[in-house]
Structure formats: structure tokens, C-alpha cells
Chain A
Amino acid sequence: MTETQKIYFYPLWLRIWHGINALCIILLIITGINLQSGSENPLIGFNTCINIHNVSGITVTLNYLLFFFGNLFTNNKSFYIVKPKGFLKRPIKQAKYYAWGMFTGMSAPYPLSEKRKFNPLQKYFYILVMYIAVPIVVVTGIGLFFPEIIIEKIYSISGVSVTAVLHSAMGFFISIFLVIHIYVSTIGKSPLDNFKSIITGWHHIEKNK
């Protein structure tokens, strides 16, 4: 027997943050790829691309402050805390579940609850993206926006180039994250259920009785 339980997972500020973030990052990815390839796109000119990229970049940066302080001042941060116990074992167990267990009738090793919003694998990826990749992209992005603040040479290598390559690499990582993030979100009560949650705030959890 399963019974569905509703939990208010995503407070309003978090949903606002996520909506803006998602929209802007998608714009950034599209325009970023355009800038990278440098081809004159008939739909959006190079100039427009730069403008969109700059405006979305600034929005994501300001928005990141919302995420950061939102977490700092609310209880939401507790979901991001990693315990040293089972540091590698726990995410591996979750990965095995995704790759094998979920098809063979195994029950989820880390069922979600009021205390656990993310499974271990999810948690690790969110931390990587939100506390490493995005900050790096933001900092390098600001650097490219004001090239005069970049260190000129790092050993014998041009500072601007290092910044640019780092910016692209982290941008790429975020894109890959995004693809996986969206796909994994379709794994839920129904494929669209998780998407509804991030809009309404309410998450459905199936409890085995």
C-alpha cells in the first residue's frame, strides 16, 4: 500500500530564486554558446547576444545573493550539510539505485522526508553547482566584464585566457548539470510532478505502509 503525503519543500523565496535562475542560465547557455562559436547568427546578432549575456549574467549574480543569504538565514541550509560518515558510500548507494535498483523493485535507499529534501547524490551535485561552479562562473564573468581587473600574467600564461577558459569550462559544467538536473526531475510520482512542485512549493512523497 502506498499513501501520498504532501510536504511544503520549497518556500516562496526559493521558488522565485529558482525561476529567475533557471531562465537566466538558459539564456546564458544559449548566448554563451553563440559567443563561443562567434558565428553571426541570423536570429540574434552578436551584439544582441552580448547584451543578453551581460544582463542575464548580472541577474544571475544578484540572484545568487538571494540564494546565498536565503540559505544563510533560513533553515534551508540544513539540507546542504554533508556528514563525513559514509561520505562516498551513500552517494554510490544512491547511484546504484538509479542504475539498477529502481528497475528491480528495490525501494529508494534514502526516502525523502521533512528532514531529508535531497538524496545524497542530489545533495552533492547541488553543492558542486551552487557553491563551486556558479561562484566561479560569476567571478570569472565579472573579470571578463572588466578585463582591466584581471591579473595580466599567471606564470607565462595570459590571465585573460585562463579566466576565459575557466569561465567556459564552468559554464559547460553547468550546462551538463542542467541536462541531468532536468532529466532526473522527471523521476517522481509522475514525470511532471517535480516540476509542479518547484512552482507550487508542495512536494508529493509516497510512503510505503
Chain B
Amino acid sequence: MKHCLIIFTFILFTFYSLKSSGQWYDDPVNHSCLKCHAFQTYSFHNDLMDKEEKRLMNPFFIQDTVALKKGVHKQFDCTDCHSYEYETYPHSANLKLEPMATCLDCHGGDETFAPYQFEKIDEEVKKSIHYQVYGENFTCSKCHSQHTYTTTARNSNDVLEIVNYSNQICLSCHNDMRKYMLISGHENPKLVEIHNWLPNQELHFQHVRCIECHTEVVDGLMVSHNIQGKDKAVRKCAECHTSDSRLKSSLYKYQNLQVRSEGGVLNTIFSNDSYIIGMQESPFLKLASIIIFIATLGGIVIHLTFRIIKKK
């Protein structure tokens, strides 16, 4: 099964590399799936009654065509992943039982995707609290829609965008009772209340990712995936609000790579989009202020000495 998929993917890959990106989804109205799956309502021919019927689409089955065209799998058409049998409606009941390929089925052991370290990520996910509690049910797809996922952290140069994208992944479930209950069977704890101890909570959630506090930072990985239990979460302010902040080895490592290669002194003072009290310490300004301070004290001591000698 797995080998089949790999070969299948390989053929697909070589085939689609020749095509321009996203062309499948350019015209939703005439697309064999999107004509129904991109809209609030759909119509089909009722063969039994022999008439056209119009119905409401299940909102969870509506696909966002803009996001589809931006996603990493924009080269695919729906039926590359889903069965061809979906082209008929009503969909056959058996299709519900159809196994879907996981990320690892296609990406595992593939040299092309080595920089993403899919196997390492898989290992880390297996250690995470979600997997520990829910096992195989907590698939990668719970966080990464195969339809719309984009590698934001790797490609964006806007910290706020990276943060927002990443946090939306967590919040789409943790702040959504239905999705949360689908997995856990109980109600979701209110994040705002849990994080009450954090001042300026809203500001923090816009400027740091959930995973900054909830994962163990793994140096070799672009995005740490080992989400730990709440008892291991970062609570100490100084972990971020110091000059050797943990953000430098996680969130800011993406930006730092770029900034360092461009910048001089001024750049290191002004580079980050977010200003984080504590972390901003610039070695240049620090040295300058120490020198000025010592010079001032020196001047005073000399003056004082003369005053004592001259009894003034």
C-alpha cells in the first residue's frame, strides 16, 4: 500500500511539474467538484423524481478556493487525492470508508522534501501531548489541512504574519467547541481565562506563537512539534524578556537569518518588527552608555578630590 502510494506520488509529481500552478481551481463554477464544494448551495439532478434539486452545502465541506490556490498542494486536482467516484452525486456511501494518504505516506523518505525533515517531525509529534492522549486519531491533518497548508514560517518575512498563521492553527480548534469536542468529547477550557496571568494577553498572542511557550525548542527543526503538557509550559517572563531570549532560537531565527546578513549596527538596533522589552539590548548602545556613565563618575571623583584637598 505504502509503496504503491510512493510510486503513485512520484508519477503524479513528474506529471504535474510540467503544468502551471493552481490551474485546476481557476474556474470553480465549471470544476467537477468545486461547482458544489466552493458554494453555500449546490444543485443536482434527482434521478428518482427526475427533477433538479437545490440544497444547502454542509459548511465544513465548503472549500476556500483562494486558499486552495495558495496551498502547497495547489498542483493537485481534487481527484488526485480523493476517489474519482466522487464525480457522481450522491456520493457512494463506500467512499466514506476510503483511506486517505497521510503526509508521511507521500513525503516520508523522499529526498525532494528532506529539508522539511518530515520523519523528524513525525517523531516529535508522537511525543506530543495530543498524540499521547489521542494516538493515531490526532493526525497531522488536524493541524495541517492538506487543502490549504502554506509554509508560512519558512517563507514569510513578516513576523506578525507567521505568528498569526501559526496561532490560527491552534485556535481553530482550541477556540472552537465543535472541533475540540470532535476529538476530546468534552468542552474546551477557555484560553483567555487560562492565560489570565499573562499581562497584555492580546498583544502577546499577536506577537508570539503558542508553540513558543508550549513546545520544547529543537534546534535542527524549523518548527518544534513536540507540544508538551501544561505543567511544562513556559511561564517565566524572563525566558523571552532578556537579551538571550528563547525567541531568538525559535520565532526570530527565521528573521535573524536574513537580518544578520544585511545589517550593520543600526540594523541590529532597529531590525525587529516587534519591540520586546529586554530583548532589544544593543551591544553598541550598551557600551556607549557604560562609557559615558563611567566618565561622568570619574569626573565627579576627580572634582571631589580637589575639593577635599582645597577644603572647598
Contacts and interface: CB of A to CB of B under 8 A. Distances in A.
A69 interface: no
Contact of A176 (B236, B271, B296, B303): B296
B274 A38 contact: no
Nearest to B197: A47
B300 A35 contact: no
Contacts, number: 81
Contacts of A36: 277-278, 281
A103 B310 contact: yes
Looking at chain A's contact residues, the main secondary structure is: helix
Given A102-B312, A103-B306, A165-B269, A37 B199 contact: no
A161 interface: yes
B293 interface: yes
Given A157-B270, A161-B272, A38 B279 contact: yes
Contacts of A98: 303
Contacts of A99: 303
Contacts of A50: 199
Contacts of A134: none
Interface in B187-223: 199, 203
B237 interface: yes
Contacts of B238: 38-40, 46
B270 A158 contact: yes
B139 interface: no
B5 interface: no
Interface string A172-185: 10011001100100
Given A40-B238, A47-B199, A147-B203, A179 B300 contact: yes
B32 interface: no
B277 A35 contact: yes
Contact of A180 (B203, B237, B242, B300): B300
Interface in A24-54: 35-40, 45-47, 50
A192 to B, nearest CB: 14
B135 to A, nearest CB: 38
A168 to B, nearest CB: 8
Contacts of B297: 179
Interface in A141-177: 147, 157-158, 160-165, 168-169, 172, 175-176
Contact of A38 (B242, B293, B296): B242
Contacts of B269: 161, 165
A172 B306 CA distance: 27
A102 B303 CA distance: 11
B296 A161 contact: no
A164 B280 CA distance: 9
Interface of B: 199, 203, 236-238, 241-243, 245, 269-275, 277-281, 285, 289, 292-293, 296-297, 300, 303-304, 306-307, 310, 312
Given A38-B277, A163-B275, 15 more contacts: A35-B241, A36-B281, A40-B237, A103-B306, A158-B272, A158-B274, A161-B271, A161-B275, A161-B280, A164-B280, A165-B269, A165-B280, A175-B293, A176-B292, A180-B300
Interface of A: 35-40, 45-47, 50, 98-99, 102-103, 147, 157-158, 160-165, 168-169, 172, 175-176, 179-180, 183, 187
Task: Please list the 6 inter-chain residue pairs (A to B) with the smallest Cβ-Cβ separation, ordered nearest first.
Answer: A38-B278, A40-B238, A38-B242, A160-B275, A38-B241, A46-B237
